[in-house]
């Protein structure tokens, strides 16, 4: 199996050489286009917008647009454009997210809020979101509507994350994840299908697949926030805990009635904006069975994604999408 990706640590698992070559070529076109799109008349804005674009990233969303487009005619022009739209939207949201998280690191580089300040980070996010909207407008009114609906869900998910759950914390958290991450990844798969001329049935199946893959992607990100160090993730571990966001492994650990978990539960109930307490919590969580329980949960979601692929004909594209879902659920970076 070879892997395809312009500068990614999460590459597409592709078994077919011709498909692999097409995806590589298209990802290069996406990179070139993204570079052009983040150029502003103001050199400082270009510098700030390029900062995280050039820092790397997995290009997971554009890769999914391109792969989904292989179910139709991937050479149609809306495919590359929509791949850029989803990456620019995602990039914009990262500038804002790092302000909300007070994050120092992103994609292995200094976050924009850390390199400059919150004002620069927020306005650069706005600039990138505007660029994404300009590009969406070239795809027609339907694309503008889809983009607006997607962004509504994304922001609703992000807001829900900041408020306490009214009832079941896991159900609340899954709504957060479906909104803030599932929505844009579902749209990535939808754009790929739509702009390559797939049937309505295939477009809907791929959108549902993208939503499941997106949820699995975010949940594995949450597991990595606890289980990996910054050399693997390019981010500071424990950010969710420090920010008081109880993610999947934490919610699972909090269900424990085992007396040996008393210290962990006490730490989780308190303020973790303190390095010593945070390090102790991370240590206890890393060896807790909730980590494996969470990994199993994510694998089940990847299986749900795979089952949605029966709407596609058998062949290398379906195989790659199938492997992609598992890769997301088991990723280590
Ligand atoms: C990463 O989640 C963040 C998101 C998936 C979405 C964030 C969305 C916003 C801040 C709204 C953006 C608004 C505009 C106008 C652009 P995470 O914090 O769990 O992941 P991380 O580990 O990558 O930080
Ligand atoms: Mg964050």
Q: 286 lies in a domain? A: yes
Residue finishing a domain among 145, 160, 187: 145
For ligand 1, say whether the CB of 20 is within 6 Å of any of its atoms: no
Q: 150 lies in a domain? A: no
Q: 66 lies in a domain? A: yes
Q: Which atom of ligand 1 is nearest to the CA of 224?
A: 22
**Residues 6 or more apart whose Cβ sits within 8 Å of residue 135:** 37, 81, 84, 85, 88
Question: Does residue 132 share a domain with residue 231?
Answer: no
Q: 19 lies in a domain? A: yes
Angstrom distance (rounded) from CA 51 to CA 49: 5
Residue 225, CA distances (Å) to 40, 222, 230 in order: 34, 5, 9
Question: Does residue 131 share a domain with residue 3?
Answer: yes
DSSP letter at 311?
A: G
Question: Does residue 30 share a domain with residue 122?
Answer: yes
Does pTM surpass 0.85? yes
Number of structural domains (the chain) is 2
Domain that holds residue 242: 199-333
Question: b or e along 295-320 (b: 16 or more beta carbons within 10 Å of the residue's beta carbon)?
Answer: bebbbebbebbbebbebbeeeebbbb
pLDDT (tens digit, 0 to 9) for every residue of the chain, 333 residues total? 334 433 444 467 777 889 999 999 999 999 999 999 999 999 999 999 999 999 989 899 999 999 999 999 999 999 999 999 999 999 999 999 999 999 999 999 999 999 999 999 999 999 999 999 999 999 999 999 999 999 999 999 999 999 989 889 999 999 999 999 999 999 999 999 999 999 999 999 999 999 999 999 999 999 999 998 887 778 888 989 998 889 999 999 999 999 999 999 999 999 999 999 999 999 999 999 999 999 999 999 999 999 999 999 999 999 999 999 999 888 877
Helix segments in 38-103, DSSP class H: 43-54, 60-69, 77-101
**Residues 6 or more apart whose Cβ sits within 8 Å of residue 113:** 95, 98, 99, 102, 103, 120, 121
Residue finishing a domain among 130, 145, 160: 145
Phi, psi of 112 (to 5 degrees): -65, -35
Question: Does residue 129 share a domain with residue 29?
Answer: yes
Which of 126, 158, 179, 239 to mutate to test ligand 1, by most ligand atoms within 8 A of the CB atom? 158
Q: Name which residue sits closest to atom 13 of ligand 1, judged by CA.
A: 93
Q: Name which residue sits closest to atom 2 of ligand 1, judged by CA.
A: 97
For ligand 1, say whether the CB of 183 is within 6 Å of any of its atoms: no
Q: 162 lies in a domain? A: no
Cβ–Cβ under 8 Å, residues 160 and 238: no
Question: Does residue 205 share a domain with residue 323?
Answer: yes
Question: Does residue 237 share a domain with residue 111?
Answer: no
pLDDT tens digit sequence for 55-73? 989 899 999 999 999 999 9
Residue finishing a domain among 129, 145, 161: 145
Which of 49, 86, 91, 97 to mutate to test ligand 1, by most ligand atoms within 8 A of the CB atom? 97
Distance 221 CA to ligand 2 centre (A): 10
Nearest Cα neighbor of 136 from 125, 123, 150 is 150
Question: Does residue 232 share a domain with residue 318?
Answer: yes
For ligand 1, say whether the CB of 37 is within 6 Å of any of its atoms: no
Question: Does residue 138 share a domain with residue 50?
Answer: yes
Distance 331 CA to ligand 1 centre (A): 19
For ligand 1, say whether the CB of 60 is within 6 Å of any of its atoms: no
* CATH for 94: 1.10.600.10
Question: Does residue 204 share a domain with residue 134?
Answer: no
For ligand 1, say whether the CB of 226 is within 6 Å of any of its atoms: no
Angstrom distance (rounded) from CA 46 to CA 48: 6
Distance 228 CA to ligand 2 centre (A): 15
């Amino acid at each position: 199996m070879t892997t395809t990706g312009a500068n990614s640590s999460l590459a597409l698992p592709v078994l077919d050489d011709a498909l692999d070559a097409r995806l590589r070529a298209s990802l290069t076109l996406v990179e070139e286009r993204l570079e052009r799109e983040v150029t502003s008349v103001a050199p400082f804005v270009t510098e700030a917008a390029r900062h995280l674009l050039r820092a790397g990233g997995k290009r997971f969303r554009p890769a999914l647009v391109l792969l989904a487009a292989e179910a139709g005619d991937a050479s149609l022009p809306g495919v590359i454009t929509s791949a850029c739209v989803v990456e620019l939207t995602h990039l914009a949201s990262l500038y804002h997210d790092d302000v909300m998280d007070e994050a120092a690191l992103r994609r292995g580089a200094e976050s924009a809020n850390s390199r400059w300040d919150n004002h620069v980070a927020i306005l650069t996010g706005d600039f990138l979101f505007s660029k994404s909207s300009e590009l969406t407008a070239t795809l027609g009114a339907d694309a503008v509507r889809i983009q607006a609906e997607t962004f509504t869900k994304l922001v609703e998910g992000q807001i829900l994350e900041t408020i306490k759950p009214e009832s079941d914390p896991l159900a609340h958290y899954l709504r957060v994840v479906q909104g803030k991450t599932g929505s844009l990844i579902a749209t990535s798969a939808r754009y790929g299908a739509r702009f390559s001329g797939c049937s309505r049935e295939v477009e809907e199946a791929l959108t549902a697949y993208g939503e499941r893959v997106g949820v699995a992607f975010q949940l594995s990100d949450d597991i990595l926030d606890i289980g990996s160090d910054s050399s693997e993730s390019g981010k500071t571990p424990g950010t969710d805990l420090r920010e008081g966001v109880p993610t999947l492994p934490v919610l699972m650990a909090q269900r424990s009635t085992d007396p040996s978990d008393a210290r962990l539960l006490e730490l989780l109930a308190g303020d973790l904006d303190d390095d010593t307490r945070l390090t102790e919590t991370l240590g206890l969580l890393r060896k807790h069975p909730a980590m494996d329980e969470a990994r199993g949960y994510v694998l089940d979601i990847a299986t749900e994604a795979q089952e949605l692929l029966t709407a596609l004909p058998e062949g290398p594209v379906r195989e790659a999408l199938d492997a992609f879902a598992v890769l997301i659920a088991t990723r280590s970076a």
